[in-house]
Amino acid sequence: MSFPAPRTNLPERLSGLSEHPVVELGGRAWLTHGEINGLLRRQPELAKSLGRAWLLDELLTAIPLTPEREQRLLQDWLQSQGFKSDPGDPDALQAWLQSQNLNAVDVLQHATASERLDRFRRHRWGNEVEVHFLRRKPFLDQVVYSMLRVSDRSLADELYQRICEGEADFSCLAAHYAEGPERQTRGLIGPIPLSNSHPEITSRLRGSRCGQLWQPFEVNAVWILLRLEEQLPTRLNAETSSRMMAELFEDWMDERLRLLLAGEPLPPLPPLPSANEELPER
């Protein structure tokens, strides 16, 4: 069975609506286009989801793969979905597609979407990862710290002195005196991103050395004892690179979605990778 390329031209898609006056769900007629338009007007989040889906479909259908790679991905996907017959058997494949309410275009999109998207991200932003990482690093680094919160200033000062003089352990005091949820963890917080804490806490942790205990300070009428236990700086590895490219992609998609929902013209897609292009590593 051959797998035709999906249509990407918007006027062609719109002209085809008159041929199918209802929207299907689960292979059955479900809603008219008028009803869908009403839902989109009344539920802006639905419009956003549909708009993003269309933009993603527009992009994916434009990214080429070699025929050999498409067939390999197609076979792997069919196998993962429980298709046991030979993918080269058109009758068996057609029967399975009908049982799943799918067609050839749908299946090819499902099978190849992840690789097409990955190739686009690496082609478009692979060389910008390091700059974006350095910009984001202060928000990605994680820390482990001990914290103890009490409402009484005198008690906070007393507990601070006891820790400094080695009379008591921070964790024991937190388990007994802490008035916040850190009491349940004996004062231990993290690992969490450094930027997730209150600004007063973040500023102190950012300038701390491991094991440094801060004198009690007040935040929102509560007195806090704070000690940095461990710094966990984020490294630019394959996983982080993929995350950075995903963030840049989402920023790009958000801008296209904004233009689409505002009724403004969409700029053309950026240059796309060729089917055989060698791309930057993740």
More confident residue, 21 or 114: 114
The pLDDT tens digits for 100-109 are 888 888 999 9
Shared domain for 189 and 209, answered yes or no, is: yes
Beta bridge partners of 142: 193, 232
Strands of 211-272, DSSP E: 213-219, 222-232
Could you tell me the pLDDT band of residue 282, with boundaries at 50, 70 and 90?
Answer: low
Asked whether residue 10 carries a pLDDT value surpassing 70, the answer given is no
Q: Print the domain residue range for 163.
A: 142-232
Which residue has 């050839």 as its token pair? 104
Q: Is there a domain that residue 82 lies in?
A: yes
Shared domain for 124 and 253, answered yes or no, is: yes
Residue 4: how many other CB atoms lie within 10 Å: 9
Retrieve residue 51's tokens. 């708009």
Residue 10: how many other CB atoms lie within 10 Å: 11
Asked whether residue 15 carries a pLDDT value surpassing 80, the answer given is no
- Max CA separation in the chain (angstroms): 82
The pLDDT tens digits for 108-167 are 999 999 999 999 999 999 999 999 999 999 889 999 999 999 999 999 999 999 999 999
Shared domain for 119 and 32, answered yes or no, is: yes
| CB contact set of 182 (below 8 Å; sequence gap of 6+) | 147, 148, 149, 174, 188, 189
Q: What average pLDDT does range 34-61 have in this prediction?
A: 93
* Centroid of chain to Cα 80: 24
The pLDDT tens digits for 168-186 are 999 999 999 999 999 999 9
In this prediction, residue 102 carries a pLDDT of 86
Averaged pLDDT of the chain: 88
Shared domain for 164 and 184, answered yes or no, is: yes
How far is Cα 231 from Cα 249, in angstroms, rounded to an integer? 29
Q: Is there a domain that residue 85 lies in?
A: yes
Q: Is there a domain that residue 46 lies in?
A: yes
Strands of the chain, DSSP E: 22-25, 28-32, 142-150, 188-193, 213-219, 222-232
Shared domain for 42 and 93, answered yes or no, is: yes
Q: Could you please report the per-residue DSSP string of 167-216?
A: SS-HHHHHHHH--SGGGGGTTEEEEEEGGGS-HHHHHHHHT--TT-EEEE
How far is Cα 13 from Cα 265, in angstroms, rounded to an integer? 17
Is residue 1 within 8 Å of 71, Cβ to Cβ?
no
In this prediction, residue 29 carries a pLDDT of 82
Q: Is there a domain that residue 226 lies in?
A: yes
Q: Is there a domain that residue 136 lies in?
A: no
Q: What average pLDDT does range 34-59 have in this prediction?
A: 93
More confident residue, 139 or 189: 189
In this prediction, residue 128 carries a pLDDT of 95
CATH number of the domain within which 216 lies: 3.10.50.40
Count of structural domains, the chain:
2
How far is Cα 144 from Cα 131, in angstroms, rounded to an integer? 26
Angle formed by the axes of helices 104-125 and 67-80, to 10°? 120
In this prediction, residue 255 carries a pLDDT of 97
